Structure 1
Amino acid sequence: MRALVQRVKRADVVVDGETVGQIGHGLLIYLGIHKDDDMAKVRYLAPKVAKLRLFQDDAGKMNRSLIDTGGEALVISQFTLYGDCSSGLRPDFFSAMPAKEAVLLYESFVSELKREIKRVETGRFQAYMQVSSVNDGPVTLMVEAP
Protein backbone atom coordinates (compact mmCIF):
# COMPACT_ATOMS: atom_id res chain seq x y z
CA MET A 1 0.00 0.00 0.00
CA ARG A 2 1.33 3.39 -1.03
CA ALA A 3 0.24 6.88 -0.13
CA LEU A 4 1.53 9.83 -2.09
CA VAL A 5 1.04 12.60 0.48
CA GLN A 6 1.05 16.31 -0.34
CA ARG A 7 0.84 19.10 2.20
CA VAL A 8 -1.74 21.53 0.82
CA LYS A 9 -3.29 24.91 1.54
CA ARG A 10 -6.47 23.57 -0.11
CA ALA A 11 -7.62 20.78 -2.42
CA ASP A 12 -10.79 19.61 -4.10
CA VAL A 13 -12.02 16.82 -6.31
CA VAL A 14 -14.71 17.08 -8.99
CA VAL A 15 -16.67 14.22 -10.60
CA ASP A 16 -19.05 14.93 -13.50
CA GLY A 17 -18.98 18.66 -12.76
CA GLU A 18 -19.84 18.19 -9.06
CA THR A 19 -17.41 18.89 -6.21
CA VAL A 20 -17.49 15.67 -4.18
CA GLY A 21 -14.72 16.50 -1.70
CA GLN A 22 -12.78 19.56 -0.61
CA ILE A 23 -10.46 20.55 2.20
CA GLY A 24 -8.52 23.52 3.45
CA HIS A 25 -5.17 23.22 5.23
CA GLY A 26 -4.09 19.57 5.43
CA LEU A 27 -3.00 16.61 3.33
CA LEU A 28 -4.00 15.45 -0.12
CA ILE A 29 -3.48 11.67 -0.08
CA TYR A 30 -3.35 9.59 -3.25
CA LEU A 31 -3.79 5.97 -2.13
CA GLY A 32 -2.55 3.03 -4.19
CA ILE A 33 -3.43 -0.53 -3.20
CA HIS A 34 -1.19 -3.45 -4.14
CA LYS A 35 -2.66 -6.83 -5.07
CA ASP A 36 -1.15 -8.38 -1.91
CA ASP A 37 -2.32 -5.70 0.55
CA ASP A 38 -4.54 -6.49 3.54
CA MET A 39 -6.04 -4.88 6.66
CA ALA A 40 -2.73 -5.02 8.51
CA LYS A 41 -1.30 -2.56 5.98
CA VAL A 42 -4.33 -0.29 6.36
CA ARG A 43 -3.89 -0.30 10.14
CA TYR A 44 -0.22 0.60 9.71
CA LEU A 45 -0.53 3.28 7.04
CA ALA A 46 -3.56 5.33 8.13
CA PRO A 47 -2.23 6.26 11.60
CA LYS A 48 1.25 6.83 10.19
CA VAL A 49 -0.06 9.37 7.69
CA ALA A 50 -2.10 11.12 10.39
CA LYS A 51 0.96 11.36 12.64
CA LEU A 52 3.56 12.39 10.02
CA ARG A 53 5.23 15.59 11.18
CA LEU A 54 4.90 17.63 7.98
CA PHE A 55 3.64 20.93 9.39
CA GLN A 56 5.73 23.71 10.88
CA ASP A 57 5.95 24.42 14.57
CA ASP A 58 6.57 27.86 16.06
CA ALA A 59 10.28 27.54 15.26
CA GLY A 60 9.54 26.86 11.57
CA LYS A 61 10.52 23.17 11.68
CA MET A 62 8.37 20.38 10.30
CA ASN A 63 7.41 19.04 13.69
CA ARG A 64 3.59 18.94 13.76
CA SER A 65 1.11 16.41 12.38
CA LEU A 66 -2.44 16.57 11.05
CA ILE A 67 -3.55 15.64 14.55
CA ASP A 68 -1.51 18.46 16.13
CA THR A 69 -2.70 21.11 13.67
CA GLY A 70 -6.34 20.07 13.30
CA GLY A 71 -5.67 19.65 9.59
CA GLU A 72 -7.96 17.92 7.11
CA ALA A 73 -7.39 15.12 4.61
CA LEU A 74 -8.63 14.42 1.10
CA VAL A 75 -8.14 10.77 0.07
CA ILE A 76 -8.13 9.89 -3.64
CA SER A 77 -7.94 6.30 -4.90
CA GLN A 78 -4.99 6.02 -7.28
CA PHE A 79 -4.27 2.59 -8.79
CA THR A 80 -1.70 4.17 -11.11
CA LEU A 81 0.71 4.42 -8.16
CA TYR A 82 1.38 0.77 -8.97
CA GLY A 83 1.99 1.40 -12.66
CA ASP A 84 5.16 -0.27 -13.92
CA CYS A 85 7.01 1.62 -16.66
CA SER A 86 10.19 -0.48 -16.59
CA SER A 87 9.71 -2.03 -20.02
CA GLY A 88 8.37 -0.10 -22.94
CA LEU A 89 6.45 3.14 -22.89
CA ARG A 90 3.05 1.93 -21.78
CA PRO A 91 2.66 1.26 -18.06
CA ASP A 92 1.18 -1.99 -16.83
CA PHE A 93 -0.92 -2.15 -13.70
CA PHE A 94 -0.62 -5.85 -12.85
CA SER A 95 0.59 -5.04 -9.32
CA ALA A 96 -2.53 -3.04 -8.45
CA MET A 97 -5.36 -4.81 -6.65
CA PRO A 98 -8.51 -5.35 -8.76
CA ALA A 99 -11.15 -2.70 -8.05
CA LYS A 100 -13.74 -5.05 -6.52
CA GLU A 101 -11.27 -5.98 -3.78
CA ALA A 102 -9.44 -2.66 -3.54
CA VAL A 103 -12.58 -0.66 -2.72
CA LEU A 104 -12.87 -2.46 0.63
CA LEU A 105 -9.32 -1.56 1.65
CA TYR A 106 -9.76 2.00 0.38
CA GLU A 107 -12.89 2.43 2.50
CA SER A 108 -11.13 0.85 5.47
CA PHE A 109 -8.21 3.28 5.09
CA VAL A 110 -10.64 6.20 5.11
CA SER A 111 -12.39 4.82 8.21
CA GLU A 112 -9.08 4.32 10.04
CA LEU A 113 -7.97 7.84 9.13
CA LYS A 114 -11.26 9.22 10.49
CA ARG A 115 -10.37 7.65 13.85
CA GLU A 116 -7.24 9.80 13.92
CA ILE A 117 -8.40 13.18 12.57
CA LYS A 118 -11.64 15.16 12.55
CA ARG A 119 -12.28 15.79 8.85
CA VAL A 120 -11.62 13.35 6.02
CA GLU A 121 -13.05 13.92 2.55
CA THR A 122 -12.81 11.55 -0.41
CA GLY A 123 -13.07 11.33 -4.12
CA ARG A 124 -15.30 8.73 -5.73
CA PHE A 125 -13.71 5.30 -6.06
CA GLN A 126 -13.10 4.22 -9.68
CA ALA A 127 -14.53 7.48 -11.09
CA TYR A 128 -12.85 9.83 -13.53
CA MET A 129 -11.86 12.72 -11.25
CA GLN A 130 -10.36 16.17 -11.60
CA VAL A 131 -8.23 16.96 -8.56
CA SER A 132 -7.04 20.50 -7.85
CA SER A 133 -4.68 21.53 -5.11
CA VAL A 134 -2.37 24.23 -3.86
CA ASN A 135 0.71 22.38 -2.65
CA ASP A 136 2.17 24.02 0.45
CA GLY A 137 5.95 24.15 0.42
CA PRO A 138 5.92 22.11 -1.78
CA VAL A 139 5.97 19.06 0.47
CA THR A 140 5.31 15.72 -1.23
CA LEU A 141 6.26 12.29 0.14
CA MET A 142 5.69 8.66 -0.77
CA VAL A 143 4.78 6.61 2.30
CA GLU A 144 4.56 2.82 2.07
CA ALA A 145 3.37 0.07 4.35
CA PRO A 146 6.11 -2.54 4.89
Structure 2
Amino acid sequence: MKAVVQRVSEASVTVEGATTKEITGAIGKGLLVLFCAEQGDQLAEADYFASKISKMRIFTDEEGKINLSLADIGGSLLAVSQFTLAANWRKGNRPGFSAAASPDDGRRLYEHFCHSLEKLGHPVEKGVFGARMEVRLLNDGPVTIIMDSKDKG
Protein backbone atom coordinates (compact mmCIF):
# COMPACT_ATOMS: atom_id res chain seq x y z
CA MET A 1 0.00 0.00 0.00
CA LYS A 2 1.21 3.46 -0.82
CA ALA A 3 -0.02 6.95 -0.15
CA VAL A 4 1.17 10.43 -0.93
CA VAL A 5 -0.01 12.84 1.76
CA GLN A 6 0.09 16.52 0.87
CA ARG A 7 -0.65 19.41 3.20
CA VAL A 8 -2.85 21.77 1.21
CA SER A 9 -4.50 25.14 1.53
CA GLU A 10 -7.18 23.82 -0.82
CA ALA A 11 -7.75 20.89 -3.17
CA SER A 12 -10.44 19.51 -5.45
CA VAL A 13 -11.06 16.59 -7.75
CA THR A 14 -13.09 16.81 -10.94
CA VAL A 15 -14.44 13.87 -12.93
CA GLU A 16 -15.15 14.21 -16.62
CA GLY A 17 -18.54 12.90 -17.68
CA ALA A 18 -19.93 12.40 -21.17
CA THR A 19 -20.85 16.05 -21.57
CA THR A 20 -19.77 17.86 -18.40
CA LYS A 21 -17.17 18.01 -15.69
CA GLU A 22 -18.26 17.55 -12.09
CA ILE A 23 -16.38 18.39 -8.91
CA THR A 24 -16.80 15.27 -6.76
CA GLY A 25 -14.73 16.46 -3.81
CA ALA A 26 -13.29 19.75 -2.59
CA ILE A 27 -11.62 20.87 0.63
CA GLY A 28 -10.04 23.91 2.21
CA LYS A 29 -7.09 23.62 4.58
CA GLY A 30 -6.21 19.99 5.20
CA LEU A 31 -4.76 16.93 3.53
CA LEU A 32 -4.90 15.56 0.01
CA VAL A 33 -4.17 11.82 0.08
CA LEU A 34 -3.37 9.94 -3.12
CA PHE A 35 -4.02 6.28 -2.21
CA CYS A 36 -2.79 3.11 -3.93
CA ALA A 37 -3.60 -0.48 -2.99
CA GLU A 38 -1.12 -3.09 -4.17
CA GLN A 39 -1.39 -6.83 -4.64
CA GLY A 40 -1.52 -8.62 -1.29
CA ASP A 41 -2.59 -5.58 0.73
CA GLN A 42 -5.04 -6.22 3.56
CA LEU A 43 -7.74 -4.22 5.35
CA ALA A 44 -5.49 -3.93 8.42
CA GLU A 45 -2.97 -1.94 6.33
CA ALA A 46 -5.70 0.47 5.24
CA ASP A 47 -6.67 0.91 8.92
CA TYR A 48 -3.01 1.50 9.83
CA PHE A 49 -2.59 4.13 7.10
CA ALA A 50 -5.80 5.89 8.18
CA SER A 51 -4.66 5.94 11.81
CA LYS A 52 -1.19 7.27 10.97
CA ILE A 53 -2.56 9.95 8.64
CA SER A 54 -5.15 10.97 11.22
CA LYS A 55 -2.48 11.52 13.87
CA MET A 56 0.29 12.84 11.62
CA ARG A 57 1.51 16.15 13.04
CA ILE A 58 2.37 18.15 9.91
CA PHE A 59 0.55 21.44 10.48
CA THR A 60 2.18 24.46 12.06
CA ASP A 61 1.25 25.70 15.52
CA GLU A 62 1.12 29.34 16.67
CA GLU A 63 4.92 29.33 17.02
CA GLY A 64 5.42 28.13 13.45
CA LYS A 65 6.52 24.62 14.48
CA ILE A 66 5.21 21.58 12.63
CA ASN A 67 3.35 20.14 15.60
CA LEU A 68 -0.40 19.82 14.88
CA SER A 69 -2.57 17.07 13.39
CA LEU A 70 -5.54 17.29 11.05
CA ALA A 71 -7.93 17.09 14.03
CA ASP A 72 -5.98 19.78 15.91
CA ILE A 73 -6.59 22.30 13.12
CA GLY A 74 -10.12 21.14 12.24
CA GLY A 75 -8.88 20.41 8.73
CA SER A 76 -10.48 18.57 5.84
CA LEU A 77 -9.39 15.50 3.91
CA LEU A 78 -9.62 14.63 0.21
CA ALA A 79 -8.83 11.01 -0.73
CA VAL A 80 -8.15 10.09 -4.36
CA SER A 81 -7.41 6.58 -5.61
CA GLN A 82 -4.28 6.45 -7.76
CA PHE A 83 -3.10 3.03 -8.93
CA THR A 84 -0.17 4.61 -10.80
CA LEU A 85 1.69 4.93 -7.48
CA ALA A 86 2.38 1.19 -7.93
CA ALA A 87 4.35 1.87 -11.12
CA ASN A 88 7.48 -0.10 -11.81
CA TRP A 89 9.56 2.45 -13.69
CA ARG A 90 13.01 0.82 -13.56
CA LYS A 91 12.82 -1.38 -16.66
CA GLY A 92 12.29 0.26 -20.04
CA ASN A 93 10.52 3.55 -20.62
CA ARG A 94 6.91 2.49 -20.16
CA PRO A 95 5.97 2.03 -16.49
CA GLY A 96 4.32 -1.26 -15.56
CA PHE A 97 1.42 -1.42 -13.13
CA SER A 98 1.23 -5.13 -12.41
CA ALA A 99 1.96 -4.53 -8.69
CA ALA A 100 -1.32 -2.63 -8.30
CA ALA A 101 -4.23 -4.46 -6.69
CA SER A 102 -6.96 -5.75 -8.98
CA PRO A 103 -9.73 -3.21 -9.57
CA ASP A 104 -12.09 -5.05 -7.19
CA ASP A 105 -9.49 -5.28 -4.41
CA GLY A 106 -8.31 -1.74 -5.03
CA ARG A 107 -11.86 -0.37 -4.74
CA ARG A 108 -12.53 -2.39 -1.58
CA LEU A 109 -9.32 -1.19 0.09
CA TYR A 110 -9.82 2.43 -1.00
CA GLU A 111 -13.38 2.49 0.34
CA HIS A 112 -12.26 0.82 3.58
CA PHE A 113 -9.45 3.39 3.97
CA CYS A 114 -11.94 6.26 3.53
CA HIS A 115 -14.39 4.64 5.95
CA SER A 116 -11.61 4.16 8.52
CA LEU A 117 -10.78 7.88 8.33
CA GLU A 118 -14.45 8.72 8.81
CA LYS A 119 -14.64 6.44 11.86
CA LEU A 120 -11.69 8.41 13.26
CA GLY A 121 -13.77 11.57 12.98
CA HIS A 122 -12.59 12.99 9.67
CA PRO A 123 -15.16 13.79 7.00
CA VAL A 124 -13.69 12.56 3.73
CA GLU A 125 -14.24 14.08 0.32
CA LYS A 126 -13.44 11.64 -2.50
CA GLY A 127 -12.70 11.18 -6.11
CA VAL A 128 -14.41 8.45 -8.15
CA PHE A 129 -12.59 5.12 -8.12
CA GLY A 130 -11.39 4.12 -11.59
CA ALA A 131 -12.45 7.38 -13.24
CA ARG A 132 -10.22 9.76 -15.13
CA MET A 133 -9.86 12.67 -12.75
CA GLU A 134 -8.32 16.11 -12.59
CA VAL A 135 -6.85 16.93 -9.20
CA ARG A 136 -6.15 20.55 -8.32
CA LEU A 137 -4.26 21.56 -5.22
CA LEU A 138 -2.50 24.41 -3.58
CA ASN A 139 0.32 22.68 -1.70
CA ASP A 140 1.04 24.35 1.62
CA GLY A 141 4.70 24.44 2.55
CA PRO A 142 5.16 22.43 0.45
CA VAL A 143 4.75 19.48 2.79
CA THR A 144 4.54 16.07 1.09
CA ILE A 145 4.91 12.72 2.86
CA ILE A 146 5.31 9.45 0.97
CA MET A 147 4.01 6.37 2.79
CA ASP A 148 4.78 2.79 1.77
CA SER A 149 3.58 -0.20 3.82
CA LYS A 150 6.86 -1.94 3.03
CA ASP A 151 8.60 0.73 5.16
CA LYS A 152 6.68 0.19 8.39
CA GLY A 153 8.73 -1.31 11.19
TM-score tier (shorter) = over 0.9
- Report the counterpart of residue 129 of structure 2 in structure 1: 125
Equivalence map 1:21-100=2 (5 Å): 21-100=25-104
CA contact (8 A) 2:77 2:122 kept: no
CA–CA distance in structure 2, aligned partners of residues 144 and 114 of structure 1: 21
Alignment root-mean-square deviation, CA: 0.9
Q: Which stretch shifts more, 115-124 or 34-43?
A: 115-124
CA contact (8 A) 1:72 1:117 kept: no
CA–CA distance in structure 2, aligned partners of residues 118 and 82 of structure 1: 26
- Report the counterpart of residue 12 of structure 1 in structure 2: 12
Cα deviation digits, residues 24-54 of structure 1 (max 9, x gap): 0000000011101001101111010111001
TM-fit CA distance, 1:143: 1.5
TM-fit CA distance, 1:99: 0.6
Matched, 1:108 2:112: yes
Identity %: 42
TM-score between both structures, scaled by the size of structure 2: 0.93
Q: Secondary structure at the match of 2:39?
A: coil
Q: Secondary structure at the match of 1:43?
A: helix
TM-score between both structures, scaled by the size of structure 1: 0.97
Cα deviation digits, residues 94-118 of structure 1 (max 9, x gap): 1100111110110000000112233
Q: How many residues align?
A: 146
Q: Secondary structure at the match of 2:138?
A: strand
Gaps of 5+ in 2: none
Give the 4+ runs in structure 1 shifted more than 4 A: none
TM-fit CA distance, 1:59: 1.3
